[in-house]
Amino acid sequence: MEKETDKSGYSLNNEEFGTVKIANDVVAMIAGLAATEVDGVGAMVGNITNELMGKVGIVNNTMKKQTKGVKIDILDGNVSVELAVTLEYGFNIPTTCNKVQEKVKNAIETMTGFKVSDVNIRIVGIKMASDR
């Protein structure tokens, strides 16, 4: 099975059946959903570019919400993930981050067949109980 990368996604070529193309945003969505399933993760936090693009309608709301705070780089079938998250107050930061890294890595590898080389987490805030 041959693999090719372009700017919009990644193609898996199988001579017998054809081509499967996985968009980078799909991998980002998998990562974002997996991260938010971990107890202690309050929210994903997007960058200013995504926020502005969403406000002018360039990015649809569902995709923007699920890929917010996620950056994906795919090179030769290896995925590098960067997450910006807000954690909930009272949770152990190293333990919660380890769970997020494991969950994101497993979700991407299981669903796409790609190998995850690293999952980097940037904690950008703490969500207090009164913020819920």
- Per-domain residue ranges for the chain? 24-131
Angle at 44 between CA 40 and CA 48, to 5 degrees: 150
Mean pLDDT of the chain: 81
At the topology level of CATH, where does 24-131 sit? Alpha-Beta Plaits (3.30.70)
- Chain-centre distance of CA 69, in angstroms? 8
Task: Name the least confident of 30-34, 47-51, 84-88.
Answer: 47-51
Segment 123-130 shows an average pLDDT of 87
Split at pLDDT 50, 70, 90, the class of 37 is: very high
How many Cβ atoms from other residues are within 10 Å of residue 105's Cβ? Answer: 19
What pLDDT is stored for residue 52 in this prediction? 39
**Position 59 pLDDT exceeds 80:** no
pLDDT at 32 over 60: yes
Residue 44 has pLDDT above 60, yes or no: yes
Instruction: Read off the pLDDT of each residue in 21-34 and give the average, rounded to a whole number.
Output: 92
Burial group, residue 44, by CB count within 10 angstroms (0-12, 13-18, 19+): buried
CB 79 within 8 A of CB 73: yes
Taking residues 89-104, what's their average pLDDT? 97
* Average pLDDT over every residue of 102-121: 96
Mean pLDDT confidence for 75-82 = 90
> Which has more pLDDT, 54 or 91?
91
- Sign of the CA dihedral with 52 first, then 122, 8, and 35 last: negative
In this prediction, residues 108-120 reach a mean pLDDT of 95
Question: Taking Cα atoms as reference points, which of 68, 81, 108 lies closest to residue 59?
Answer: 68
